[in-house]
């Protein structure tokens, strides 16, 4: 199979997109799970504050999500823009 | 460099043998180390019963050893295998067999050390129940060996099955994909199913009268943990026995590789995560046996959610295996499909573990605070849904790589 310069660049951007989103998803997945785990623990200890705790969990998770969204953005840029 | 076929077969067999034993030794050594560590801890609290603790430690270590013995057997077979008619396909199969067995033994080795160690702690606390602890340990560790046995079965099929001579076409990629899929797919389930076994032993020491319930929960929980390994086995079997007819070589080879990577890697997270939830439910039932119904329900719901990334991985694998791709000799067409598999595979690891952690904590606190089970379940599901989002991003990018680019 003949490989040309344009083709190899395109191939690199596609596999790069896969790597960016694949590896980038590990951290937020674990981190948000940790936040949710501690929120459950806190609600177990102090159920009256369930609303506040859930809100805090969601804010924390949203921040933790940001790196996942960066990965998504980079993956989409690699797929459709560059 | 032009090698004859026989050289390729030898090259693959020896490399495969090295991979099988090298990686296969990791898990059992860690698991046995954990058992010995816990046994020492147990001895420090109860020197009088050192005999039964050490005996239990040795029995537990022997079970944990079996995963690496499987790897040893496969490695020796690969070193001395006699291939009557060497072919390049056989070379690929032998390398794949080594990958399957080597990585497949890691999880089972680590996982089956956990019940062994915790049974030693149990004996130190309740020496009169030594027999029951050893039985529970053996059952728990035996379940942990299942993924390693799957990996061995796949390795033996790859080594000794006659897949027809010479028809290299796509089967080499399919066989390598099958080896990767089964090898990595066994890691998570092996580690995960060790947690409930360990917590069940600790729980029996705390609440001996709840033993039958703990045993049941341990078995249910670790059975659910096996699901990702079973997915990996299904994909491996499909890849090994599928007929590819006249599907174009390019880019289908990359799709088959990608299919193996997708399910294999995505299964790691779900296996570990499901085990965490199951472990917490054994702990919870021991703490408060009346909560068994609610605890088991939340464990199963939590485990089901943490299986989702493995299911996404399976879905992407099936698309990659069964979709026909138009012939294309460009590198980018192949890399898009390989990239789709890598993306979904790695992308499933984190959310699988994260949702498992959430479920673990929710189950633990339902046992302590059962009247707020509803609140906890709700928070668990919301938290898991957010943690799941990155797996969904990964699936979206995979599907874009398969269908759009």
Residues in CB range of B384: below 8 A, 6 or more apart: A33, A36, B302, B305, B306, B354, B355, B358, B359
**Would you say B78 and B11 are in contact if contact means Cβ atoms under 8 Å apart?**
no
Residue B136 banded pLDDT, cuts 50, 70, 90: very high
Q: Which of B397, B403, B404, B405 to mutate to test the interface with A (most CBs of A within 10 A)?
A: B397
pLDDT for the residue numbered B249? 87
The Cα of B395 is separated from the nearest Cα of chain A by a number of Å equal to: 9
Structure tokens at B40: 């020492």
Residue B45 banded pLDDT, cuts 50, 70, 90: very high
Q: B286, B283, B281, B288: which is closest to B368 by C-alpha? A: B288
Compute CA A45 distance to the chain's CA centroid, rounded to the nearest angstrom. Answer: 29
Mean pLDDT of all residues in B172-198: 96
The Cα of A6 is separated from the nearest Cα of chain B by a number of Å equal to: 9
**Alpha-carbon gap, residue B250 to B335, rounded angstroms:** 11
Mean pLDDT of all residues in A12-41: 96
Structure tokens at B116: 């062994």
**Alpha-carbon gap, residue B49 to B162, rounded angstroms:** 54
**Alpha-carbon gap, residue B13 to A42, rounded angstroms:** 54
DSSP states along B357-377: HHHHHHHHHHHH-GGGHHHHH
Q: Where are the alpha helices (DSSP H) in B226-330?
A: 227-241, 249-287, 292-322
- Angle A26-45/B373-399 helices, nearest 10 degrees? 170
**Is pLDDT above 70 for B322?**
yes
Q: Do A33 and B383 touch (CB under 8 A)?
A: yes
Mean pLDDT of all residues in B267-294: 95
Q: Do A15 and B375 touch (CB under 8 A)?
A: no
pLDDT for the residue numbered B143? 95
Closest Cβ–Cβ partner in A1, A44, A79 for B368: A44
Length reported for chain A: 82
B234: buried, middle or exposed (CB in 10 Å: 19+, 13-18, 0-12)? middle
**Is pLDDT above 60 for A1?**
no
Q: Which of A6, A22, A66, A75 to mutate to test the interface with B (most CBs of B within 10 A)?
A: A22
Q: Which of residues 28-47 of A touch B (CB under 8 A)?
A: 28-41, 43-45, 47
Residue A5 banded pLDDT, cuts 50, 70, 90: confident
**Alpha-carbon gap, residue B333 to B34, rounded angstroms:** 46
pLDDT for the residue numbered B162? 83
Mean pLDDT of all residues in B70-94: 93
Q: Do B379 and A23 touch (CB under 8 A)?
A: no
Mean pLDDT of all residues in B381-397: 96
Rg of chain B, C-alpha, whole Å: 22
The Cα of B401 is separated from the nearest Cα of chain A by a number of Å equal to: 7
**Is pLDDT above 80 for B298?**
yes
* CATH number (domain holding residue B327): 1.20.120.610
The SS3 call for residue B243 is coil
**Is pLDDT above 80 for A76?**
yes
| A59 interaction partners in chain B (CB closer than 8 Å) | none
| B351 interaction partners in chain A (CB closer than 8 Å) | 25, 29, 33
| A41 interaction partners in chain B (CB closer than 8 Å) | 361, 364-365
The Cα of B218 is separated from the nearest Cα of chain A by a number of Å equal to: 21
| A25 interaction partners in chain B (CB closer than 8 Å) | 346-351, 390-391, 393-394
Going through chain A in order, the beta strands assigned E by DSSP cover none
Residue B54 banded pLDDT, cuts 50, 70, 90: very high
Q: Which domain holds residue B286?
A: 5-404
**pLDDT > 90: what percent of chain B?**
90
The Cα of B314 is separated from the nearest Cα of chain A by a number of Å equal to: 15
**Would you say B204 and B136 are in contact if contact means Cβ atoms under 8 Å apart?**
yes
The CATH code for residues A8-81 is 1.20.20.10
B56 or B162, which is more confident = B56
pLDDT for the residue numbered B193? 95
pLDDT for the residue numbered B3? 80
Residue A2 banded pLDDT, cuts 50, 70, 90: low
What average pLDDT does the structure give for chain A? Answer: 93
Residue B166 banded pLDDT, cuts 50, 70, 90: low
CA-based torsion, B181, B183, B184, B190: positive or negative: positive
Q: B321, B195, B160, B351: which is closest to B253 by C-alpha? A: B321
Residue B405 banded pLDDT, cuts 50, 70, 90: confident
Residue B313 sits at the chain A interface (C-beta within 8 Å): no
The domain segmentation of chain A, as residue ranges, is 8-81
Structure tokens at B318: 């099936």
Structure tokens at B110: 């680590």
**Is pLDDT above 80 for B320?**
yes
pLDDT for the residue numbered B247? 85
Domain count, chain B: 1
pLDDT for the residue numbered A58? 96
CB pairs under 8 A between A and B: 210
């Amino acid at each position: 199979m003949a490989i040309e310069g344009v083709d190899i660049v395109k191939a690199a951007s596609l596999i790069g997109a896969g790597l960016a989103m694949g590896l980038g998803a590990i951290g937020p997945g674990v981190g948000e799970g940790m936040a949710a785990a501690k929120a459950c623990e806190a609600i177990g200890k102090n159920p009256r504050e369930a609303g506040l705790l859930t809100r805090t969990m969601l804010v924390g998770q949203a921040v933790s999500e940001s790196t996942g969204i960066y990965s998504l953005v980079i993956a989409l840029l690699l797929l459709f823009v560059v | 460099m032009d090698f004859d076929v026989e050289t390729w077969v030898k090259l693959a067999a020896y490399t495969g043998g090295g991979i099988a034993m090298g990686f296969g030794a990791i898990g059992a050594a860690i698991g046995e180390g954990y058992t010995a560590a816990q046994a020492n801890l147990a001895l420090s609290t109860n020197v009088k019963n050192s005999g039964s603790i050490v005996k239990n430690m040795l029995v537990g270590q022997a079970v944990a050893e079996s995963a690496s013995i499987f790897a040893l057997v496969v490695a020796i077979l690969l070193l001395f295998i006699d291939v009557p008619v060497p072919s390049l396909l056989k070379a690929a199969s032998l390398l794949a067999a080594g990958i399957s067995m080597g990585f497949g033994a890691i999880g089972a080795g680590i996982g089956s050390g956990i019940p062994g160690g915790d049974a030693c702690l149990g004996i130190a606390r309740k020496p009169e129940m030594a027999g029951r602890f050893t039985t529970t340990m053996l059952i728990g560790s035996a379940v942990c060996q299942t993924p390693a046995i799957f990996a061995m079965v796949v390795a033996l099929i790859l080594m000794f099955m006659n897949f027809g001579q010479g028809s290299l076409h796509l089967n080499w990629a399919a066989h390598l994909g099958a080896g990767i899929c089964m090898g990595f797919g066994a890691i998570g389930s092996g580690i995960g199913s060790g947690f409930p076994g360990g917590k069940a032993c600790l729980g029996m020491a705390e609440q001996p009268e709840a033993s039958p319930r703990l045993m049941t929960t341990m078995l249910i929980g670790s059975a659910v943990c096996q699901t990702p390994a079973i997915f990996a086995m299904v994909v491996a079997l499909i890849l090994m026995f599928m007929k590819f007819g006249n599907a174009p070589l390019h880019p289908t080879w990359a799709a088959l590789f990608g299919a193996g990577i997708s399910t294999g890697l995505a299964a790691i997270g779900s296996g570990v995560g499901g085990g965490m939830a199951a472990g917490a439910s054994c702990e919870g039932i021991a703490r408060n046996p009346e909560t068994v119904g609610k605890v088991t329900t939340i464990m199963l719901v939590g485990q089901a959610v943490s299986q989702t990334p493995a299911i996404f991985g399976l879905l992407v694998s099936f698309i990659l295996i069964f979709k026909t791709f138009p012939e294309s000799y460009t590198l980018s067409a192949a890399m898009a499909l390989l990239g789709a598999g890598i993306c979904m595979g790695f992308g499933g690891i984190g959310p699988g573990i994260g949702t498992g952690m959430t479920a673990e904590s929710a189950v633990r606190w339902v046992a302590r605070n059962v009247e707020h089970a509803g609140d906890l379940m709700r928070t668990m599901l919301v938290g898991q849904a957010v943690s799941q989002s990155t797996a969904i991003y990964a699936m979206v990018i995979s599907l874009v790589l398969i269908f759009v680019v």
